[in-house]
Chains A and B, each alone.
Chain A
Amino acid sequence: MHLYTQMLLIRRFEERCAEMYALGKIGGFCHLYIGEEAVAVGAVDVLRPDDYIFSAYRDHGHCLARGSDPKRVMAELFGRATGLCKGKGGSMHLVDAERRFMGGYAIVGGHLPLAAGAAFAVKYRGGDQVVLCFFGEGAVPTGACHETLNLAALWGLPVLFLCENNRYGMGTPVERAVALYQDVSQNAAAYGIDAGRVDGMDVLAVREAVSKAIDHVRTKQRPYFLEALTYRFLGHSMADPSHGHYRTKAEVDEAKRRDPLLLLKTRLLTERQASDEDFKRIEQEIVNRVRESVEFADASPFPSEKDLEEDVYLP
């Protein structure tokens, strides 16, 4: 049930972000995670607090799944001083050091070497933490990705490379971008990295697959590449329509039939693990939480211009 609550939090939060962006309270780029919640929630649920997480620019869901305070996430999106990064990061650069959420990165593929670096540090110190690195299938062809996979395999770095294949790199479908598109995980297998695939819309399946993968990574000190097949219900970002440009409405509607929230809810109801009242209650709680986060963000001050040059250097 807590998985459902987490996914619902992300869903409602992201919906509110869309509204806030249209109102002009969130600026710049805003990449929403709607439809992909099962991957973040199922995966992060397996981690220990001392494990590390790296993500790309579609990071609201990962950050919330890790337990960051929605108020501080929304405040960061609003660019306020009370945000996670004091308003200096923004949507694509959410960071929560306390929870080892290492960011939020905007250069496609650019954060994969960083993830490998954190794993290197773990191994250097003889620890058993793992690094969970989220990225999209669009990042797989980048040089940084291949260099990282090679290094991870070569040196046995404890990284779980979690590829969220939502089939589109902005407007380009995977079959036009990745040579091995039919099974993207083969890219990793090419480096001798153990790989697997999972239905990214089914949160329980994701959790199971990630659990096995993390076990492999933690105990064998070897990397693992897990491809999660998922779908984003909205466009690449707020400026991009959800269909009509490079996706058909029919395709999007078809995907929505396997909405991760719907799948889990149906299963929980069928297996009588939860009731309609439970779902109504949770819906209300989540809506309240999200509303509070907007109110908090709205009431928060903007960062002072006096602090503009703070945090450029460690003094």
Chain B
Amino acid sequence: MASRVIMPKLTDSMEEGVVVKWRKAEGERVESGDVLAEIETDKAVMDLEAFASGTLRKILVPEGTTVPSGALIGIIGEPDEDIREIMSPSSPPSRPAERAKAAVSPAEPVAEGEALASPRVRTLARERGIDLWTVKGSGPGGRIIERDLAPLLTRSDQPAVREILLTQMRKAIVRMTTQSKAPVPHFYVTIEVDMAEGLRVVEESKKPSARASVSINHLIIAAAARALKQHPGINASFAGETIKVFSRIDIGIAVALDDGLIVPVLRDCGEKTLTQIAEEERALVLRAKNRDLSPAEHTGATFLISNLGTYDVESFSAVILPPAAAVLAVGSVRKVPVVRDGCVEAGCRMKVTLSCDHRVIDGAAAAQFLGTFRHALERAREL
């Protein structure tokens, strides 16, 4: 069986070689291991040994020629063999494509004194719409650090002792609502929801055989979460150059206190069941009323719900608190005359009003969201 004699690649750097001298002649018998030729590589002159036994049928490259590694330079076979096929050039060895390594450019060093503000400060400023040129930096080189923003923020993760926070509550509400109302263009959309099914679900949940008892408020939260999942544009915030859409649904529930109001946040409502929402809301509200919330637990809501239903209020509109872009104001469930199939009968209705930040939400989007919300709430059993 014929075999090829190839110019070998004997070192990593060898690209080509020179046949210095053939040690066997065409037609001569060779045994595996015999030296066929002397090859000059980039490093030294080495012997090229035969890998097969037979007759050296053809010498294809004369002495003194340079050929690339992998090139055919001779054929070994039986004396009477047909070697035409093997003389056709062999395909080049395949190698996996070299991957170009992306060069990672080193970060540019910041010169001393050039750092205007820490990254955290920049982010906070962007989120709250604070103009950093108006802030004096007390850090090294005049760097604006978080502490310098304190007068402009009511950040709950600032070191805050509970007592201080409570006595500041009124001031905080003033600041938050003023900050919101002035710069944020509010508009309002009101709808009415048929609460017959909702009331039924609440009643049934009070039975001992039920898994857990839920309230109208729990249904509202669950329905809002459902609707926010389908309309993520509502679960967003105006951020200056961009609109930030939150990936998690954190619903703030306004809770009335003796001297004001606090908004505990139910985190990740999109991933919670109605039962979980009910349990957590109850626990949070209890703690809120006992003034037992940590600062992290009553800031950062991406959507807000304010419910004055227990005060027999038909409807109202609420003020949006940043970073949210909308707040749902819920009125009480009332027995009202409704028209069905041309007849007047008794029905249960509840009005809800969505206040929206027009920089983030347009009228149609608000209406669509409310439509989904109503749909979910009127099918309360499926929540």
**Which A residues have a C-beta under 8 Å from some C-beta of B?**
15-16, 18-19, 21-25, 233, 238-239, 241-242, 244, 256, 287, 302
Chain A residues, CB < 8 A from B51: 15-16, 18-19
Does B95 belong to the interface (CB within 8 Å)? yes
The answer, yes or no, to whether B47 is at the interface (CB within 8 Å) is yes
| Pair A256/B10 contact, Cβ less than 8 Å | no
B175 close to A (CB within 8 Å): no
Docked CA distance A258–B46 (Å): 25
B33-91 residues with Cβ-Cβ distance < 8 A to A are 33, 46-47, 49, 51-52, 69-70
- Report yes or no: B69 in contact with A24, Cβ–Cβ below 8 A: yes
Q: How far is the CA of A233 from the CA of B32 in the complex (A)?
A: 11
**Inside 8 A of A21's CB, which chain B residues have their CB?**
9
Is the C-beta of B96 less than 8 angstroms from some C-beta in chain A? yes
| 21 pairs of residues in contact across A and B, judged by CB atoms under 8 Å | A15-B32, A15-B51, A18-B51, A19-B3, A19-B6, A21-B9, A22-B9, A22-B69, A23-B9, A23-B70, A24-B9, A24-B69, A24-B70, A24-B93, A25-B93, A233-B33, A238-B10, A239-B10, A239-B11, A242-B47, A242-B49
Q: Is the CB of B70 within 8 A of A241?
A: no
Whole-angstrom CA separation of A135 from B51 in the bound complex: 27
Question: Which range holds the interface residue count of chain B?
Answer: 10 to 19
**Residue B8 at the A interface, CB < 8 A?**
yes
Contacts of B70 in A (CB 8 A): 23-24
Please give, as numbers and ranges, the residues of chain B lying within 8 Å of A25 by CB-CB distance. Answer: 93
Majority secondary structure, B binding face:
loop
What distance in Å separates the Cβ of B246 from its nearest Cβ neighbour in chain A? 32
Is the beta-carbon distance between A23 and B6 smaller than 8 angstroms? yes
Query: Is B344 part of the contact surface with A, judged by Cβ < 8 Å?
Result: no
**Is B1 part of the binding interface, using a Cβ–Cβ cutoff of 8 Å?**
yes
- A22–B52 contact, CB under 8 A? no
The 8 A CB mask of B138-181 against A (1 = contact, 0 = none) is 00000000000000000000000000000000000000000000
Q: Which residue of A lies closest to B11 (CB)?
A: A239
Taken together as a complex, chains A and B put the C-alpha atoms of A242 and B35 apart, in Å, by: 11
State the CA gap A289–B8 with chains docked (Å): 24
The answer to whether A15 and B52 have CB atoms under 8 Å apart is yes
A49 to B49, CA, bound (A): 38
B24 to A: closest C-beta gap in Å? 16
Whether A256 and B9, one on each chain, are in contact in the complex, defined by CB atoms closer than 8 angstroms, is no
Structural contact, B33 and A241, CB atoms closer than 8 A: no
A18 to B48, CA, bound (A): 11
In the assembly, what is the distance between CA of A241 and CA of B41, in Å?
A: 13
In the complex, the answer to whether B46 meets A241 with C-beta atoms within 8 Å is yes
Inter-chain pairs besides A238-B10, A241-B47, 7 sampled, C-beta below 8 Å: A15-B51, A19-B3, A19-B6, A22-B6, A24-B69, A24-B70, A233-B33
In chain A, what residue has the closest Cβ to B7?
A: A22
B67 nearest CB across to chain A (Å): 13
Docked Cα-Cα span, A302 to B95, in Å, equals 9
- B95 and chain A: residue at smallest CB distance: A24
Min CB–CB distance A35 → chain B (angstroms)? 10
| Across-interface contacts of A22 in B (CB, < 8 A) | 6, 8-10, 69
Residue of B nearest to A253 (CB): B33
Which residues of chain B are near A16, meaning CB under 8 Å? 51
